[in-house]
Structure 1
Amino acid sequence: MEPIAIVGIDCRFPGAPDTGAYWDLLMRSGDGVGEVPRLRWDAKEFHAAGGAPGRTNTTEGGFVNDPDAFDNEFFTISPREAAAMDPQQRLLLQSAWRAVEDAGIAPQQLAGSGAGVFVGIMGNEWAQLHLTDYDNVTAQIGSGNGYCMTANRISYHLDLKGPSLAVDTACSSSLVAVHLAANALLSEECDVALAGGVNVALTPALSIFYTQAGLSAPDGRCKPFSSEANGIGRGEGVGVVVLRRLKDAVADGQRVYAVIRGTAVNQDGRSNGITAPNRWAQQEVLASAYRRAGVEPSDVTFTEGHGTGTALGDMMEVRALGHHHAGRSGKPLALGSVKGNLGHTEGAAGIAGLIKVALSLHNRVVPASRFAAKENPSLKMREHGIRLLKAPLKLPAEGVVAGLSSFGMGGTNAHAVLESAPPAAARPKARPSATAGGIGAAVFTLTAPAVPALQRNLLAQADAAERRRVPVGSLAWNSNHVKAGHRYRFAVSASDTAELVTRLRSAADDPDLLARLTAAPTGRPRTAFLYTGQGSQYPAMTAGLYRDSALYRGFLDEADAALLPHTGRSVRDLVLGGDADVHLTRWTQPALFAVEYALGRTLAELGVRPDVLLGHSVGEYAAAVLAGALPLDGAARLIAARGALMQELPEGGGMLSVRAARESLEARVAEEPLVGIAAVNGPLATVLSGDLAALERIEGELTERGLKTRRLQVSHAFHSPLMEPMLERFAAVAEEVGGTVPQVPVYSTVRGRLLDQEAGEAMDAAYWVEHIGATVLFADATIALLDDGATHVVEIGPRPVLSGMVRTLGGARTAAGPVHVHPVPGEDAAGRELGDALAELYRGGAVPDWDAVYEEKDRVPQQLAPYAFSDKHRYWAARTPALGEARGGRVEPALQSVVSAPEPESAQSEPAASAVAVLSVGHGRPEGPVARAAYEVVGKVGGYAPDELTPDLRLYEDLGFDSVMVMELKNRLEERLTGLGEMTVQDLLPRLSTVGELVGFLNEIGAAAHGHEAPGQEERTA
């Protein structure tokens, strides 16, 4: 049999709310058994000494805490549907989600895939309670019950298209589910399989059965293979594992807990009773599993036994094992059973054992078996080559083989053979990537369907990060890949784990800070890269980023290598060395080009690729390279020639900034042949350039007119007629370099508009020659860019220069304007600031290439805290046998589901947000009888209080409506409102996007029926 890897685990058992707590319970030989909670039934009422008919002999058992808690908003399930659902479905939904996360997969990544779901389940007491209450059976009650739905719910909510089935073989159900899942993987029916089991004890029915059959332990505790063993103690729990073919898991660099080498399932057939164990069948299922696994019995180091703690069951199991292991001299088979800690979890017993074995192999130690201190001498274990685990058993790092048995009450037996994972898979090394990676900071991300859920999970991640000593880069890399896919995006950068913990807690505790670090993008962002021009340079610019970021370092080195043949000196060394020569034009221009090329390429390599580009003057050179209009070496040659030729021009020119419109200056400038309009940066932001004497005359006149002017500190009069002496020599270089049509749209500051790609408008030699003397039409180009719908403006340069001008230009046009992002916000900027910029872009909807953000050493799978579901909403039966009457041993409960949901999450913290109310903040509800009726009916169908509902809530995405609920909605509306006229489902469906649109539709058809536009309709009284 091809090996199957266990790559993800989640579980919840008595005394153990999660996988970590489960392992802790096992290692300390903890006891998860206690008194039957009142939420289930009144155990004392049903207890009678001596096991009288219809009564139980114990008030104890293993029960999970809060099985009524369910985060229905997370799964977009209405309260009414949640209240109808078997709690076993609810537990499995949450456990499946967390198991997929534990496998290092964002659950949404599996959507649409052929992943399979296989669930073992034995009891369906919720259905027994609700489906016999005929007056209250609803469509939700129907779909909320049934074995199939335990698996189908998972497939539906995770959008999985592979096999989806539930199996009931009694106590062996969940190990049989694992067997079926493994076979589906082997046959390539699916590539990922979720296998699990669940058991929730709602009534004392099985406890009564065990008592009457003489199988129930009076203290409610299983004592596997112990001299004190006196029967079964009931237990609850849920567990889910994620399975893949080992070769696929290793290829994807997933962590592997353990490997399933072989499984087998058989049946007792006719024996001495349908509920009695059959030693011969157990022997054969062991042999079959060993054969499929390709191992000899002597290879098996330890076995997790079925271990119910009944005299006959323990004896048959030991003899069956002894048949294969009796000849082991000096190396007896180690044996134990988790039922001593939890009780018999029935349909979840197999998965409880599987998870114990997988964790034992992963952690290289097998926990002691509870109650093993007093071994049952009549079992003669030594003669059978077996020893009971009275103390933890340390395991070697690799090559350990283990067994796992699970036997069904009706005779269906299952056995699995597991092995420790290959060393590289058990603790995988760094995941390789095509990119060297590394920005010098970590960007931790987290998503949730609502802001309160985000707050809750921020605290859970902070707690987990504080407990574990894991490098921040590895934590963040895992968060990027696993905690993705929900509507609300949180992102923050950090330099170390301590800082990350602080920032997570601060955000969770401060609503204003959380709002700044969170966004709910509605679509893909439209990103514009704006490249700064001359004047933004300074000594040692981006030195911190070069130090921290391997990615930036590589691209700056690349630009420097391209420039060196044309400059004769390393521009990189000049920049990073803090040389004041960076202010000399011959060095300024190539230096800015190198920095901006490296920064633009770094962002592109990080997955942030521009939709549009704009460069201010000399900034267009780096923009042209990223747009594909110039090759790097050609652009390097051009920019080096440009700077050197300008430096050779005589001094004596200057530039003057004037707070005035271009049109008001054109006539005066035309009178000065040596002066030109160099740039138009805004409606009242014009720059003049040219001969100093002429500029002084103009400046004096403008000052007399009351206009504000400012001299710019420049060496030459750029973009003026004084540049003409260099044009011929520059044109010769430009002709040799050439240039093509940009592949990415470019808003040209030469043309003041978008270059026409379809018309073949190129950034060629003629363009670059014209560029030297042409007016920089920044305002025109920027306004056109903003009108094109840019949502994010990323300034590419050594410090922000253009953002203020863009805000001025955009502020008058739109209320919000684009988000401004500064990868290098100042002279001290380093990797942390680049991380902040990437976080901002991610919050806006960008999808970075996270592997490129980190060095290889950080790209290692790590376990993050699982998703923390809300426990605010409670769903249980109003009257179970705990409150019913015992009449002649027969319980007659009143069967109604109740919902205990004190408040939607939106009411519990600010800023308000939840799956129900997140869209509704600030939106009033329309008045009128039709609106009131619509809100009441929507609330009734979904189980919402009318005051929770607002016009902008979406019926499907936010309120969890489906086709069944839509039909009920239509029928109830027709009952509630008269005079609506004809309302068909076909007409109704397109108008169900929001509650407000539904109200509008009802008003429309009502007005049409009455021949007027008044919204009021006759409301039928109850």
Structure 2
Amino acid sequence: MEGIAVVGVDCLFPGVHGAPAYWDLLMRRGEVTGAVPEDRWRAEEFPSVSRGGFAADIDVFDHVFFAVPPREAAAMDPHQRMLLQCAWRAIEDSGTAPSALAGSETGVFVGVMGGEWGRLTMSDSRWVTPQLGAGSSAGMIANRVSYHLDLGGPSLAVDTACSSSLVAVHLAVNSLLSGECDTALAAGVNLVLSPALGLVYEQMGLAAPDGRCKPFSTDADGIGRGDGVAVVVLRRLADALADGSRVYAVIRGTAVNQDGRSNGVTAPSRWSQQKVLEAAYRRAGVTADQVRFVEAHGTGTVLGDAIECAALGSVHGVERDQPCAIGSVKGNLGHTEGAAGIVGLVKAALALHHRIVPASLFADRENPRLRLAERGLRLLRSPLRLPRGESFAGVSSFGMGGTNAHAVLASAPRTAVVRSQVGPAARTGSTAHAGSTASTAHAGSTASTGPAGGAPAAGVFTLTADSPAGLRRNLVAQAAALRARPRGPVAALCWSSARVKTGLSHRYAVTARDTRELAEVLERAAASGGEGVGRPRSWSAPTVAFLFTGQGGQYPGMTAGLYRESRAYRRHLDAADTALAPHTGHSVRELILTGDRRIGSTRHAQPALFAVGYALAATFAELGVRPAAVLGHGVGEYAAAVAAGVLGLGDAARLVAARGALMAELPPDDAMPAVSGAFHPAVPAPVLPHLRDAARGLRAERPQVPFASTRHGRMLREEPLDADYWVAQAAEPVRFGDALSALMRESGPTHLLELGPRPQLPPPAGMAGEAHGAEFLHPCPGPEATGRDLAEVVARLYTAGLDPDWAMLYAPEDRRVEPLAPYVFDPERRFREERPAAVAAVADRMPGPVDASAGAAPGADFVRALRVEADPVLAAVVAAVHEVGGYPEGTVGPATRFYEDLGFDSVMIMQLKDRIEARLPRPADVSVPEMLPALGSVAALTGFLTDHLAAAGTPAA
């Protein structure tokens, strides 16, 4: 079958969070078994099931991040809460921002067994609520992920007992192969919330007295239960390679079957296990002798291990170079039941990724009755290094009811490594313009080469979070991850951050050249206490006006550092040079970059300034910065005209070259001084007829971008920018202040971006009082300017709400996915009490039925603090919202939004209506459909209800 790539992974086990920590546990042969925590059940009451693999902090959930009301979060099965966070992190690990999948046909397939949360919370009908109903449904475990991440593909939970999650992988693979979805999350989640299933195992004779699984060991005596959550992100291999994704491993084939009527509904069948292995290998196009190792089901029960080894031996006991290695991660983690299959799959994928198979925990106590050597099998006493080339692994998972699953994995193809180093934009980028061959002398050896001395290229490191506190947490995490890396360039890390760490409401961006510098900047930002750390994302992109520098800004070697470091700027300056060369008779680019002092003469300064302005504007356009309006000072108006679509590059180059040459022919007394300031005198009359001749035949279009004319001192409407315009523009005074005032008034830019070799326009613009608070930006602050200055402008615009085309900022070799620290959720929000899990553990924290006569209600203190006693409708709405959602005091106000801020749904809206009416002095007699349009905010609903009561003749008080 077509290969399915594993491109993202996240997992959580006792004492282990994330794939790197999981791999470390496996390689050091670690074990996580321990005593049952007090918040699960009392060990003294159930001593026979008092040990196992228990994860800490399963009550922690960042409900604000996912916009889940506190009352709903308290009612949610911890399986749902933990899987949501792991799914987010797995998508990030795949090199994709989770927000980028919103609205896509991404599928979610989750293996889970049992329903302990429902039994704990729904057994007493007095405390049943709609939130508990949704919170305890097994099917909702997958649906929660699809809902909160806005994924539109198949979404289903699978329960085939212990094979559930590998069956979920099988279904996800088939969904991808059929084209039903292009990305799939396959997951398994298992939390041991009560002793019930452990007692079942004990009564069946399957429970290990010490709570430890000891697979294939002579000491094997049963199952020890364990917590585990694992998520993998899957894509078709061809798609993953085309997108430059990192590939952990490739799923080559899967198979699922059933024991049918065997020795009992709970007994395993050797023959069915054998058949499912054979079917998986057949679909994968792999023979058993090619399989280097098998991650077995390996529960550590006497009967289960014996049957599985007989089935494995029947398939793998063929002539081969060396025995097939087998192992089971249950020895490290315990039996994670519904999650066991995907836990084993992640282990196999990591082994193929690292090209080494971890040793088995109990290999030194191999059970001789299993006859492993005789069957062509072996346990690894030490790690097994995989040879070069493609390697294959198998993963088995068998359910207690007889549903068996097997998956065949292969190491990532060599092309996956190559493609991940050169991302998709590198394969679609445009070719260089004519003249680029000569430019390589100034460009350095590679596109990522920095300024003289070989400094690495600068990049923009981006980070987003849901709040200022979240941003600081993640700044700390990213800085720590950078500190753990050797010092080196950051361009690829920055490229990855732009792909992955975007989409949330609070943005941060900074430029850096190496990992140490970046770590230091992030640490300072995190320690600043919030001062200057990021900003809330604007709901609209920034409005940027381009201002083009006029004569007086030129100097020898201008923009040389930028030309050396920016491929886009090089390409566009080369294009301008090509357009100017027939009219100047020399290379303007060479004149600019070599430090030739002739740049100060009018003949050379004007074409050079035009070339720089044009190249900068085209560079920013490639980066996704589109001007809302343009304004050029003097000769800068020619580059502005090209940016506005008024003139083509060729016509503008011809005209500006003629202008400079004509000015150079004037007697010294009439010529414009080359070091003149931004406000220069009009071009002398003797030049004008010649300039008109040069402009004859000019093709001028109407502005496609609002154009502020310094000739008229206003925005142009229908006037043509023909030969007459350009002659008059040269002859008449420059009305820069009037033009800027008109631009500010009519376009309202948030940012003024000056495009030229150094800042010339902001000071007069500020003195003229026309900037109106707009932020000035400049990519070339002076002779020392480099690509970092360009990157800093992009960073500033990004934090203001721009979504740049990041690919154009980086060289092809830097457009590769690098691993970043995963998102750090708020660890302080907890939804479980420190006593045995029972009905009261949930019910006690939920507000009870409203007692309208009691007077005191959730939110009452806050209502008084808002001084809303005079508005009983607002008071009723605020108190009802607090009660329905269970929000902490002080978190709901008039501006609070029901959907975006509070996470309201249809059930909560119905509850809200009833609670509001119970608090109003008279019934509002309003239906839910009538309320829906008013649910923008608390204030909007209050206004609607007030008007409704007034229209009905019912006073609000």
TM-score normalised to structure 2 length: 0.92
Residues 1:574 and 2:591 are matched in the alignment: yes
Matched, 1:460 2:477: yes
Q: Spell out, residue by residue over 1:283-341, the C-alpha distance to the aligned partner (whole angstroms, 9 max, x if none).
A: 11111111111111111110001000000000000001111122335511100000000
Is the Cα–Cα contact under 8 Å of residues 551 and 677 in structure 2 kept in the other structure? no
RMSD: 2.4
Matched, 1:868 2:860: no
Range with bigger deviation, 802-811 or 789-798: 802-811
For residues 568-627 of structure 1, give each alpha carbon's deviation from its aligned partner in whole angstroms, at most 9, with x where no partner exists. 343333333334433322222112111111111111122212122111121111111222
Which residue, out of 761, 778, 787, partners 1:822?
Answer: 778
Equivalent residue number for residue 731 of structure 2:
773
Distance 2:641 2:696 in 1: 16
User: Aligned pair 1:797/2:756, yes or no?
Assistant: yes
Residue matched to 1:859: 815
Q: Deviations over 1:101-142 (max 9, x none)?
A: 111111111111111111000122111111112111111111
Which runs of structure 2 are paired with 1:457-606 in the superposition (5 Å)?
457-469=474-486, 471-511=489-529, 513-515=531-533, 517-606=534-623
Residues 1:194 and 2:185 aligned together: yes
Distance of aligned partners of 1:716 and 1:158 in 2 relative to their CA distance in 1, 3 Å threshold: closer
Distance 1:981 1:302, change over 3 A: closer
User: Using a 3 Å threshold, how does the CA distance of structure 1 residues 322 and 735 change in structure 2: closer, same or farther?
Assistant: same
SS in 2 for 1:403: strand
Q: Distance in 2 between matches of 1:287 and 1:317?
A: 14
Contact 1:930 1:1003 in 2 (8 A): yes
**Structure-to-structure mapping, 1:293-304, within 5 angstroms:** 293-304=284-295
Q: Check whether the contact 1:980–1:1009 (CA below 8 A) recurs between aligned residues.
A: no
Q: Does 1:282 align with 2:273?
A: yes
Q: Which amino acid aligns with 2:308?
A: E
Relative to structure 1, the CA distance from residue 851 to residue 899 in structure 2 (aligned partners, 3 Å threshold; closer, same or farther) is: farther
Contact 1:936 1:946 survives alignment (8 Å): no
Matched, 1:979 2:928: no
Q: Secondary structure of the equivalent of 2:365?
A: coil
The answer to which of 248-257 and 801-810 deviates more is 801-810
Q: In 2, Cα distance between the equivalents of 1:327 and 1:718?
A: 90
Distance 1:376 1:1011 in 2: 83
Q: How many residues of Structure 1 are paired with residues of Structure 2 in the alignment?
A: 913
| Cα distance between partner residues in 2 of 1:777 and 1:926 | 54
CA apart distance, 1:878: 6.9
Q: Which residues in structure 2 correspond to 1:180-191 (within 5 Å)?
A: 180-191=171-182
- The residue number in structure 2 matching 1:15 is 15
Question: What is the CA-CA distance between 1:367 and the residue it aligns to?
Answer: 0.5
Q: Equivalent residue for 1:995?
A: 938
Measured in 1, the distance between the counterparts of 2:147 and 2:954 equals: 44
- Secondary structure in structure 2 of the residue aligned to 1:600: helix
| Counterpart code for 1:796 | L
1:968 Cα offset (Å): 0.8
Give the counterpart of 1:345 among 336, 339, 343.
336
C-alpha distance in structure 2 between counterparts of 1:310 and 1:716, whole Å: 86
Residue 912 of structure 1 corresponds to which residue in structure 2?
none
Distance in 2, Cα, partners of 1:63 & 1:339: 13
Pick closer, same or farther for the CA change 1:563–1:894 going to 2, 3 Å.
closer
CA pair 82-894 structure 1, distance change in 2 beyond 3 A:
closer
Equivalent AA in structure 1 for residue 627 of structure 2: P
What's 2:700 paired with? Answer: 739
**How far off its partner does 1:519 sit?**
4.1
CA distance in 1, matches of 2:546, 2:393: 58
DSSP-derived class of the 1:32 partner: coil
Q: Hey, what does 2:883 align to over in structure 1?
A: 940
Query: Tell me, which stretches of 5 or more residues in structure 1 are unaligned?
Result: 48-56, 656-710, 885-892, 901-916
Partners of 2:63 and 2:69 within 8 A in 1: yes
Which SS does the other structure have where 2:17 is aligned? coil
**Preserved CA contact (<8 Å) 1:876 1:897:** no
Structure 2: distance between partners of 1:565 and 1:898: 84
How far apart, CA to CA, are the structure 2 residues paired with 1:843 and 1:716? 31
In 2 relative to 1, CA 617–717 (structure 1 residues): closer, same or farther, beyond 3 Å?
Answer: closer
**Distance in 1 separating the partners of 2:520 and 2:677:** 48
**Given the superposition, is the C-alpha separation of residues 429 and 422 from structure 1 closer, same or farther in structure 2, using an over 3 Å criterion?**
same
User: 1:69 Cα shift?
Assistant: 0.4
Partner amino acid for 1:827? P
> How do 1:130-149 and structure 2 match up within 5 A?
130-149=121-140
What is the rounded CA distance, in whole Å, between the counterparts of 2:702 and 2:178 in structure 1? 52
8 Å contact kept, 2:38–2:834: no
1:717 and 1:513 map into 2 onto residues whose CA distance is 39
Residue 910 of structure 2 is matched in structure 1 by: 967
Equivalent residue for 2:322, pick from 318, 322, 331: 331
Offset, 1:95: 0.9
Q: Which amino acid aligns with 1:613?
A: V
Change (3 A) 1:217 1:981: closer
Question: Partner residue of 1:609?
Answer: 626
> Are the structure 2 counterparts of residues 807 and 989 from structure 1 closer, same or farther at C-alpha, using a change threshold of 3 Å?
farther
Aligned pairs for 1:224-303 within 5 A? 224-303=215-294
Which of 368, 386, 389 aligns to 1:398? It is 389
Give the deviation of 1:80 after TM superposition.
Answer: 0.8
Corresponding letter in the other structure for 1:868:
V
Alignment deviations for residues 660-704 of structure 1 (CA, whole Å, 9 cap, x no partner): xxxxxxxxxxxxxxxxxxxxxxxxxxxxxxxxxxxxxxxxxxxxx
Partners of 1:726 and 1:148 lie apart in 2 by 81
Identity across aligned pairs (percent)? 55
**Which residue is 2:836 aligned to?**
880
Deviation of residue 952 (structure 1)?
1.8
Secondary structure in 1 matching 2:405: strand
How many Å separate the matches in 1 of 2:197 and 2:249? Answer: 34
Q: What do residues 969-997 of structure 1 show as CA deviations (whole Å, max 9, x unaligned)? A: 11100011123643232332222212222
Aligned equivalents of 2:845, 2:246: Cα separation in 1:
40
1:771 is aligned with what amino acid?
Answer: Q
State the match for 1:896 in structure 2. Answer: 842
d(CA) in 1 for partners of 2:678 and 2:813? 49
The answer to whether 1:636 aligns with 2:657 is: no
Determine if contact 1:878/1:898 at 8 Å carries over to the other structure: no
Report what 1:28 is aligned to: 28
* Distance apart, 1:551 and its partner CA: 2.3
Q: Secondary structure of 1:838's match?
A: helix
Partner of 1:700: none
Cα distance change on mapping 1:945 and 1:330 into 2, 3 Å? closer
Q: Distance in 2 between matches of 1:811 and 1:996?
A: 37
Name the counterpart of 1:89: 80
Q: Is the 8 A contact 1:875 1:897 kept in 2?
A: no
- In the other structure, the counterpart of 1:434 is 429
Per-residue deviation, residues 136-171 of structure 1 (Å, max 9, x unmatched): 111111111211101111111111111111110000
Output the amino acid matched with 1:729.
Answer: H
**Aligned match of 1:783:** 741
Determine the C-alpha separation between the residues in 1 that align with 2:219 and 2:489: 48
Change (3 A) 1:716 1:211: closer
SS in 1 for 2:335: coil
1:45: how far off? 2.0
* Cα distance per residue 1:20-61 (max 9 Å; x no partner): 1111001100011111111111122211xxxxxxxxx24210
Query: Which moved further from structure 2: 936-945 or 736-745?
Result: 736-745
CA displacement at 1:222 relative to structure 2: 0.2
Separation in 2 of the partners of 1:22 and 1:713?
65
Conserved 8 A contact 2:544-2:751: yes
In 1, Cα distance between equivalents of 2:290 and 2:784: 62
